[in-house]
Amino acid sequence: MSSAPTTVAVIDNGICNLRSVTKALEAVGVSPRVVHTPEEIAASGAAGLVLPGVGALRDCVAALRAAKLDATVRDWIAADRPFLGVCLGMQALFEHSEEGNVTGLGIFPGQVVRFQRPPEFKIPHMGWNTVRFVQPRSPLATGLKPEGEAFYFVHSFYCAPADPALVLAECDYGGPFTAAIARGRCFATQFHPEKSQAKGLQIYRNFAAVAAKR
C-alpha cells in the first residue's frame, strides 16, 4: 500500500509564478498546497514550505508582512523545518536590498546588491548559466554535478551573504555571485528550478526528499 504524497505549502504572495512551481512539485510526486495566511499553513499539515517570487522585492516583502507571513517564515526556518526560497524568495531572507532600499526579513546577515558589470554584460542577467555547487554533499545537490549544471536565471540583483558558509552554489556573470544558499534544512536559489527543465526538477525532487523525512 503506497503512502500519501508529501504535502508542501506554497506561499502565494501575489507576485509569483504559482502555476509553474506547483506543476513542478506535482511532477516530482509532491502534493502542493497554495497558502495565503499563517492559518492556512498550519491547517495544511505541510512538511515543507516554498516561497517563490518574481518582480520587485519591495512588493514581495510588503505582501509577506501584510499577511503576517514574515513571522511564519522566520519561525519555520528557526525551527529548521524544510524551506525552499526561489528568486525573490531567496532575496527576501536577507537584511537589506539595494532594490528600492528595502529592509528584508533579516533571517540571514547580508545584502542584496545590483550587478555592476561591464557594458557587454546585459542587465538583467537572463537565460541559462552554469551553476557550480560548493557544498556538493548538500541534499539539495543530490544527483547534480558539483562542477556545473545549467539553470535558468532572470534577475538584476543578487545576494551577498555576510557568512561564506551559507553559500551552496555559485554562478559567474562577469564575476562570481551566489546562486544558492543552504543552512540546515533551509535552502534558496536565485535561479528558477521550475524553468530549468530536468535539472530544475531534480532540485524540487531533492527538496521533496528532505521534506519527506519528518
User: Among all residues, which ones are annotated catalytic?
Assistant: 87, 192, 194
- Measured distance CA(21)–CA(196) in Å, rounded: 11
Alpha-carbon distance 17 to 52, whole Å? 7
Cβ atoms of 163 and 129 within 8 Å: the answer is no
Using CA atoms, how far apart are residues 41 and 162, in angstroms rounded to an integer? 30
Cβ atoms of residues 113 and 157 within 8 Å: yes
Residue 180: CB atoms within 10 Å: 28
Task: For residue 32, say if its preceding peptide bond is cis, omega within 30 degrees of 0.
Answer: no
- Which class for 14: exposed (0-12), middle (13-18), buried (19 or more C-beta within 10 A)? middle
Considering only CA atoms, which of 176, 200, 197 is closest in space to residue 189? 200
Q: Which of 123, 114, 125, 116 is nearest to 91 (CA)?
A: 114
